[in-house]
Amino acid sequence: MEKSYSVKNGMAAAGIGGIIAGAVMIIPMMGMMSMMNLPADLFSTIVGITVGKPQESAAMTGMTLHFVPSILIGLIFGVIISSSKLAITGFKKGISLGIAAGIVSFVVLFIPMMMTVMPPAMLQLMQMMNPGASQETIMSQLQSMQPMLLGGSLAAHIVYGAVLGTITTAILRKRIQKIQIR
């Protein structure tokens, strides 16, 4: 596949890819939480609490907010892959570039959020789940979860990137085929 798509088409394809990848990414995130004997919607609940929502409605808000960076990363990816040097020429390159985007988003967005914004909300939720536990005990539990949370989150971002690259490539291939038929 030769590059014959505009920035607009790259952004449109990758924007759709970002939405789908964000939805697929939720599966490993929920699975990781369940493996740790935590509520499957814990991540989205934490995100919702960080923006001031009460625990009862925090999960839906957090899930909705999860799609904002998913779409923005997709749109940025669409601009980047529209340059001639990084143009997607096939699935191998599309998936590779998508995975790179997923890893960059993990490093640039997730890790800073995990280290600054999320700990107070995580502490609050853990205190609600274990009302008799001391803050010291809860902090120790949270620290012991860090490797699993970081590893699982990295894996989820790699899944995001692979899906982003796959969907974007498929849409662009279809678009290029339509152009060639005309």
pLDDT digits (tens, 9 = 90+) for 69-114: 999 999 999 999 998 899 999 999 999 999 999 999 999 999 999 8
Helix, strand, coil percent values for the chain (each to nearest 5): 85, 0, 15
Closest CA to 71 of 17, 2, 7, 128: 17
Structural domain contains residue 2: no
Question: Quick check: 155 and 99 in contact, CB under 8 A?
Answer: no
Q: Write down the mean pLDDT value for the chain.
A: 91
Structural domain contains residue 76: yes
Percent of the chain scored above 90 by pLDDT?
A: 58
Structural domain contains residue 1: no
pLDDT of 131: 87
Split at pLDDT 50, 70, 90, the class of 119 is: confident
pLDDT of residue 178 exceeding 90: no
Has this prediction a pTM greater than 0.85?
yes
Question: Quick check: 164 and 14 in contact, CB under 8 A?
Answer: yes
Structural domain contains residue 112: yes
Q: How far is CA 105 from CA 70, 101, 142, in A?
A: 9, 6, 23
Domain interval for residue 160: 7-181
CB atoms under 10 Å from CB of 56, counted, come to: 9
Structural domain contains residue 145: yes
Structural domain contains residue 24: yes
Structural domain contains residue 70: yes
CB atoms under 10 Å from CB of 68, counted, come to: 10
Domain count, the chain: 1
In eight-state DSSP terms, residue 106 is: I
